[in-house]
Amino acid sequence: MGFVELLILAIGLSMDAFAVSICKGLAMQKAGLKEGAVCGAWFGGFQGLMPAIGFFLGTMFADAIRAVDHWVAFGLLAIIGINMLKEAFSKCECCENQDADLSVKTMFIMAVATSIDAMASGISMAMKDANIYIAVALIAAVTFAMCTAGVKIGNIFGSRFEKKAQMAGGVILILLGLKILLEDLNLLPW
């Protein structure tokens, strides 16, 4: 995976956490840089940690599934993307259940919940021999920036961007998985 693909992956993976950050901002009376940075640090930290865990788990099995690694990468990214799209189109309004709580317990649970899909992407990165150090740093940095901004966006504009962010993330991950599959099957003209 090249830098551009990793950047696209980072943006796609950060969309769930971005949507939750928008909801956090919506629930806050006043959201400043400190509140945004707290959300950004929690979500960015876990979005960076989980792909690393997935990568190291994936490297243990990479040789065994090398012949079908492109199908595995496509399948994992497509499943993550489809789940994000389903969440975006579901009737459940996630922001309704949010509060302004930034306690360690609350943020830990939310950070883990929004980063599970990043672990699966780490497995797919192991199949594609991605540079995990660049990937982790990029995913963490992009998520930090988007979530810090998401708190302020939610505080100012409300929840109108939440579902759009989830839809965009789902589509990005599905398209990235499709690109990996088509490249390995030599079906792309470039």
**What are the residue boundaries of the structural domains of the chain, listed by start?**
3-184
Buried b (16+ CB within 10 A) or exposed e, 60-92: eebeeeeeebbbbbbebbbebbebbbebbeeee
* pLDDT recorded at residue 136: 96
* pLDDT recorded at residue 114: 83
Within 8 A by CB and 6+ apart from 93, the residues are 159
Q: What phi and psi, each to the nearest 5 degrees, are found at residue 60? A: -65, -30
* pLDDT recorded at residue 158: 62
* pLDDT recorded at residue 97: 57
* pLDDT recorded at residue 176: 80
pLDDT along the chain (190 residues), means of 10: 88 88 81 90 96 90 76 84 81 60 85 85 84 95 96 78 76 84 81
* pLDDT recorded at residue 160: 66
The rounded distance, in Å, linking the Cα atoms of 182 and 83 is 22
